Amino acid sequence: MVRYIILRVAHAALVLFGTSLIVFIAVHASGDPVVMMMPADAGPAEIEEFRRILGLDSPLHVQYIRFLQRAVQGDFGRSLRWGVPCLPLVLQRLPATAELAFGALLVSLLVAIPLGVVAAIKQGSGFDDMAIAASTLGITMPTFWVGIMAILLFAVRLRLLPPSGRGELSNCVLPVLTLSLGRIAVLTRFTRSVMIDVLAKPYIVTARAKGLPNRIVLGIHAFRNALLPIITLVGVEIGSLMGGAVITENVFAWPGIGRLVVLAVYNRDFPVVQACVMTTAAIFTLLNMIVDISYQYINPLVRY
């Protein structure tokens, strides 16, 4: 078990290293932030002096090594727009994004897993057809469109919920439901597929032949064996929730990391972009590592 955890930590470190390299190259290939920040009448000497102050006059590989050394210590530099350290700025927005992402994850699990299990048990019935149709529709609808339609219906027309902002519980309803809709659709279809496969296994047929109650067959023998691939998908969906939060936060003016990174991209504030991406990647990698380690407790036969 200890060896398994050490290998997973090493794998996570490799993933974060690759992410840091990709995001560093991407932000520097997008344009020169110095030119964007300087006044239009600034001369070449002023631009070069400002570039030297920011440390952007060094070769790219030197800048990357310097960035990596500081990032390991939690130092991503200072925001070019707000003039404050980047990491505290990102961490200040983290609770809002976590509230949105994990609220959507909780709603997705509470709705999708029972729906998928029941659809598998009633395979071929009208309920099963409705679940498949609803999940297909949920997958095809873009998140931004769902958010805009939710605002128009529940905030503008019916005036039941606030259209934007964060603070009250009512502010969470529309963004959480918008973000969770696509995840519900994916998890429902996957849970149904896995449960149908498990229910056809010989040990399920044997358990039923022995006269075991249906709740024992479904709850212990079937669902427990279907749980491992479902947890795997949940780990992947966490990344989708973090990515989808970028769109949802901007639609609902939600003050999270997603909204911050969009503002940073508009302003060419590349230290903030790097801090946002690396923080999100670290959280996603950590959660996936926890999911992988949990396999050992669900199924001790799983090995690295």
Q: Looking at residue 98, which CATH number applies to its domain?
A: 1.10.3720.10
Residue 51 lies in a domain: no
Q: Give the whole-angstrom CA distance, residue 208 versus residue 221.
A: 10
Residue 31 lies in a domain: no
Q: Residue 302: which pLDDT band, with cuts at 50, 70 and 90?
A: low
- The proportion of the chain whose per-residue pLDDT surpasses 70, expressed as a percent, equals 92
Phi-psi region of 39 (alpha: psi -120 to 50; beta: other; left: phi over 0): beta
* Tens-digit pLDDT profile for residues 154-209: 989 988 888 888 878 888 899 999 988 888 998 999 989 988 888 888 887 787 77
Q: Which domain holds residue 256?
A: 86-298
pTM confidence score = 0.79
For range 270-279, the mean pLDDT: 87
Q: Give the whole-angstrom CA distance, residue 55 versus residue 49.
A: 10
Radius of gyration of the chain (CA): 24
User: Does residue 96 register a pLDDT over 80?
Assistant: yes
Q: Residue 266: which pLDDT band, with cuts at 50, 70 and 90?
A: confident
With a CB cutoff of 8 Å and minimum separation 6, the contacts of 155 are 161, 162, 163, 174
What is the SS3 assignment for 85? strand
Residue 44 lies in a domain: no
| Whole-number pLDDT of residue 82 | 82
Residue 204 lies in a domain: yes
Long-range contacts, stretch 62-65, CB < 8 angstroms, 24+ apart: 63/24, 63/28, 64/21, 64/24
Q: Locate all alpha helices (DSSP H) within 58-164, ordered by sequence.
A: 60-72, 86-121, 126-140, 143-150
User: Does residue 92 register a pLDDT over 70?
Assistant: yes
Residue 203 lies in a domain: yes
| Whole-number pLDDT of residue 303 | 58
Q: Residue 151: which pLDDT band, with cuts at 50, 70 and 90?
A: very high
Residue 55 lies in a domain: no
Q: Give the whole-angstrom CA distance, residue 87 versus residue 78.
A: 9
The token pair that represents 120 in the structure block: 């598998």
In contact, 177 and 248? CB cutoff 8 Å: no
Residue 40 lies in a domain: no
User: Does residue 110 register a pLDDT over 80?
Assistant: yes
| Whole-number pLDDT of residue 176 | 92
Q: Give the whole-angstrom CA distance, residue 142 versus residue 147.
A: 9
- Averaging pLDDT over each range in 177-191, 221-235, 239-253, which range is the top one? 177-191
Q: Give the whole-angstrom CA distance, residue 146 versus residue 158.
A: 16
| Whole-number pLDDT of residue 149 | 92
User: Does residue 300 register a pLDDT over 70?
Assistant: no
- The proportion of the chain whose per-residue pLDDT surpasses 90, expressed as a percent, equals 7
Buried b or exposed e, range 103-132, using 16+ CB within 10 angstroms: bbbebbbebbbebbbbbbbeeeeeebeebe
* Tens-digit pLDDT profile for residues 6-49: 888 888 888 888 888 888 888 777 766 676 666 666 777 777 77
| Whole-number pLDDT of residue 250 | 87
In contact, 250 and 87? CB cutoff 8 Å: no
The token pair that represents 123 in the structure block: 């395979």
With a CB cutoff of 8 Å and minimum separation 6, the contacts of 162 are 155, 168, 170, 171, 174
Q: Return the higher-pLDDT residue of 166 and 55.
A: 166
Mean pLDDT for the chain overall: 83
Q: How many structural domains does the chain have? A: 1
Residue 190 lies in a domain: yes
